Amino acid sequence: MTASPIWHPFTQHALEPDMRRIRAAEGAWLEADDGQRIFDGVSSWWVITHGHRYPKIIASMREQAEALDQVIFAGFTHAPAEAVAAGLLKIVPPGLSHVFFSDSGSTSVEVALKMALGYWKNIGAKRTRILALEHGYHGDTIGTMSAGARGVFNAAYEPLLFEVGRIPYPKPHHAQPTFDALEIACRKGDVAAFICEPLVLGAGGMLFYDADTLKEMHRICKAHDVLFIADEVMTCFGRTGTVFACEQAGISPDILCVAKGLTGGSIPLAVTLSTTAIYDAHLSKDRSRTFFHSSSYTANPIACAAAAANLEIWRTEPVLERILALSQNQALCLNELQTDPRFASLRQLGTISAFELADLQPGYLADVALKLRARLLERGVLLRPLGSTVYIMPPYCTTKDELRFVYNALSEAVDEVLA
């Protein structure tokens, strides 16, 4: 077979020369070309919520494709985009009033950073500094890499990145250093915005922190008139147990980034929501104050139709009950690992479970990750450990038996890898 010319994401082809070809998907399962069924334990990079090819979403996309496939979004609008904007404003934290469309999590955060800087420039204030949580990950564009943790992900691109103030990760039961550092940084008066992933730092190692901590970080920012950006690209639409993670802290960010689960995971789409104050700072007959950001496919009608269908599913189906059931099943499976010496730091947040493989090399480049992935695929399970950190984040349709299948396969695979 001729080698494929495709360069795959986050892939070292010298170590992984062959890619599995997937021909179909349904529910929580993928189907490979050879007929093997593979359980999608990472929701295909955290995007699939209700399950693959959810009928209402697919039908909506099909119907929209027959009417309007694409139109420039400068000077025009369309019904699916209006439905998504109106639907989102009914469920996001109060105070958010304007919806800007883009096409990925990275771009939604890039938009957020630009909105924040544009706000301060347009009102004539010299605030240009961005603060971010230590170990955070916000995407792979230049602005989002700058806001994210520095390390193996972006070391080669250091000359392109701008300086960001780092706030220590709020360790469980020891968040005061975080609050102190945030207070000191905000007090200087030059900070435009603080960005964080609410409740869970995803790519940073599935690091969790509590709602009280999130609430206090928000309070400190408000006390110093610092814009608060909530990057809910991964946490939105139920991953943490509520529609948005910010709900658990009772906070309303100035800017909210939403992607991944916005369309149920069926097709790329993202939005960045802002307050009226931020929108009004860009509203002027002086065209130089325009918010200068776009992509060719802004608010693509087919993607918006998928998102509108997803919002309708949330309005009419018992999605939160499914999330609760999955969360309870995750807790049961994790509980059975409590006394297993192979696993450490067992933790759960909503539908997400995570733990460390005990006594192994830490860090994203830990060799165990590739070996464990391969052993799991042999057993029909897709997981992508973050080095020696294993996490399980399946679609909400996952049954108790399917989840037990994943944990059993994991236990067997770990035995082989550690042997």
Q: In what order do the strands lie in the sheet with 165-167?
A: 96-102, 270-275, 255-258, 227-231, 191-196, 129-133, 165-167
pLDDT band at 343 (very low <50, low <70, confident <90, very high): very high
Return the CATH class of domain 57-316: alpha beta
Distance CA 63, CA 226 (A): 44
Q: Is the pLDDT assigned to residue 1 strictly greater than 80? A: no
pLDDT at 78: 98
> Residue 117's CB: how many other CB atoms inside 10 A?
18
Percent with pLDDT over 70 in the chain:
100
pLDDT band at 348 (very low <50, low <70, confident <90, very high): very high
Q: Which fold has domain 318-418?
A: Aspartate Aminotransferase, domain 1 (3.90.1150)
**Residue 306: CA atoms inside 13 Å, Cβ hemisphere, count?**
27
What value does the mean pLDDT of the chain take?
97
pLDDT at 2: 74
Q: Is the pLDDT assigned to residue 394 strictly greater than 90? A: yes
Close Cβ partners of 257 (under 8 Å, ≥ 6 residues apart): 105, 108, 109, 111, 112, 229, 230, 231, 232, 233, 270, 271, 272
pLDDT band at 152 (very low <50, low <70, confident <90, very high): confident
List the structure tokens of 196. 């964080």
Task: Please state the rounded mean pLDDT for residues 263-271.
Answer: 98
Give the pLDDT confidence of 119-138 residue by residue, as tens digits. 999 999 999 999 999 999 99
Task: Please state the rounded mean pLDDT for residues 347-374.
Answer: 92
Task: Please state the rounded mean pLDDT for residues 193-222.
Answer: 98
Closest among 300, 358, 281, 301 to 117, alpha carbons compared: 281
What's the 3-state SS for the chain?
Answer: CCCCCCCCCCCCCCCCCCCCCEEEEEECEEEECCCCEEEECCHHHHCCCCCECCHHHHHHHHHHHCCCCCCCCCCCCCHHHHHHHHHHHCCCCCCEEEEEEECCHHHHHHHHHHHHHHHHHHCCCCCCEEEEECCCCCCCCHHHHHHCCCCCCCHHHHHHCCCCEEECCCECCECHHHHHHHHHHHHCCCEEEEEECCCEECCCCCEECCHHHHHHHHHHHHHCCCEEEEECCCCCCCCCCCCCHHHHHCCCCCEEEECHHHHCCCCCCEEEEEEHHHHHHCCCCCHHHCCCCCCCCCCCHHHHHHHHHHHHHHHHCCHHHHHHHHHHHHHHHHHCCCCCCCEEEEEEECCEEEEEECCCCCCCCCCHHHHHHHHHHHCCEECCCECCEEEECCCCCCCHHHHHHHHHHHHHHHHHHHC
pLDDT band at 75 (very low <50, low <70, confident <90, very high): very high
CB of 32 closer than 8 Å to CB of 20: yes
pLDDT at 363: 81
Domain boundary assignment for the chain: 57-316, 318-418
List the structure tokens of 55. 């009928």
Verdict on whether the full-model pTM lies above 0.85: yes
Task: Please state the rounded mean pLDDT for residues 392-398.
Answer: 98
pLDDT band at 367 (very low <50, low <70, confident <90, very high): confident
Task: Please state the rounded mean pLDDT for residues 319-346.
Answer: 97
CB of 412 closer than 8 Å to CB of 392: no
pLDDT band at 419 (very low <50, low <70, confident <90, very high): confident
Give the pLDDT confidence of 250-261 residue by residue, as tens digits. 999 999 999 999
Give the type of residue at 225: D
Q: Is the pLDDT assigned to residue 213 strictly greater than 60? A: yes
Give the pLDDT confidence of 403-413 residue by residue, as tens digits. 999 999 999 99
pLDDT at 362: 79
CB of 313 closer than 8 Å to CB of 57: yes
| Angle ∠(364,368,371) on CA atoms, nearest 5 | 120
Q: Is the pLDDT assigned to residue 74 strictly greater than 90? A: yes
Distance CA 263, CA 48 (A): 9
Q: Is the pLDDT assigned to residue 263 strictly greater than 90? A: yes
Q: Is the pLDDT assigned to residue 309 strictly greater than 60? A: yes
